[in-house]
A and B are shown apart, each in its own frame.
Chain A
Amino acid sequence: GAVVSQHPSRVICKSGTSVKIECRSLDFQATTMFWYRQFPKKSLMLMATSNEGSKATYEQGVEKDKFLINHASLTLSTLTVTSAHPEDSSFYICSATLAHLPTDTQYFGPGTRLTVL
């Protein structure tokens, strides 16, 4: 089946630094990748939709200058949290799909836990 990986699985950084999280589709080419943030009560919030070779589409309320998304190839998307602050500490999950809509089948990554000190 389709496998999506994330790296790193866990990262701890100091406030003010930038952190890059990678999302890779290992055995398929993903037309679209999505980035989510999981909150303590397990709800998922869609942050942005990323298509290869084009600018990401950010959801309302998500700062695009703070959460930089690059989708350089059909198998790799990166999320960079710039000038991270403690409130950015969270669990970030990516997913990939062969289609274009969030309502289509998505393959989810294992998540990355970010802790900002």
Chain B
Amino acid sequence: EDKVVQSPLSLVVHEGDTVTLNCSYEVTNFRSLLWYKQEKKAPTFLFMLTSSGIEKKSGRLSSILDKKELFSILNITATQTGDSAIYLCAVVWSNYQLIWGAGTKLIIKP
């Protein structure tokens, strides 16, 4: 059965810490993997990953995909309270449908 598993489910750290969020998948017909940040009305798109080993960066956030070991990580360095959110990972099938992880709830304490 195709599935996407995110870990940890929740995480509490202090401002300034670095966090690593994990997304592992068992999906046939993999097309790409998406990361979203959910804090307001709609999840905000962060990254799309299609190739192994190529790091994508946006400010303090970065992500990488390993298609051999079937996982992706999302790193956030020098965390701020504004990074508090639920981070979602979704795998895109070849037919463009999505399989979503349950999300990681990240809380950054001042």
- The closest CB in chain A to the CB of B86 belongs to A105
Write out, one digit per residue, whether chain A residues 62-77 have a CB within 8 A of any chain B CB (1) or not (0).
Answer: 0000000000000000
Could you tell me which residues of chain B, from 37 to 61, have a CB within 8 Å of some CB in chain A? Answer: 38-45, 48
B42 touching A105, Cβ below 8 Å = no
Stretch binding the partner chain, chosen from A13-21, A22-30, A81-89, A107-115: A107-115
- Please indicate which of the listed interface residues A10, A103, A109 has the most CB atoms of chain B within 10 Å of its own CB: A103
Residues A113 and B39 in contact, CB atoms below 8 Å apart:
no
A46 in contact with B41 (CB, 8 Å): yes
User: Across the interface, do B98 and A110 meet the contact criterion of CB distance under 8 Å?
Assistant: yes
Cβ of A43 and Cβ of B103 under 8 Å apart? no
B99 proximal to A (CB < 8 A): yes
Q: Are B96 and A41 in contact (CB under 8 A)?
A: no
B100 adjacent to chain A (CB < 8 Å) = yes
Number of chain B residues close to chain A: CB under 8 A: 24
Sorting the interface of chain A by its residue count into under 10, 10 to 19, 20 to 34 or 35 or more gives 20 to 34
Q: In the complex the two chains form, is A1's CB within 8 Å of B98's CB? A: no
A42 & B48 in contact (Cβ 8 Å cutoff): yes
Question: Contact check: which of A9, A42, A46, A59 meets B97 at CB < 8 Å?
Answer: A9
- Contact between A44 and B43 (Cβ–Cβ < 8 Å)? yes
Q: Kindly provide the distance from the CB of B91 to the nearest chain A CB, expressed in whole angstroms.
A: 10
Docked CA distance A102–B86 (Å): 11
Binary interface profile of B, 77-110, with partner A (CB < 8 Å = 1, else 0)? 0000000001010100101111110110100000
Binary interface encoding of chain B residues 59-74 relative to chain A, with 1 for a CB under 8 A from any of its CBs, else 0: 0000000000000000
Partner of A105, one of B34, B96, B103: B103
A45-B42, A105-B86, A109-B98 known; 4 new pairs, CB 8 Å cut-off, are A42-B45, A44-B43, A105-B103, A111-B98
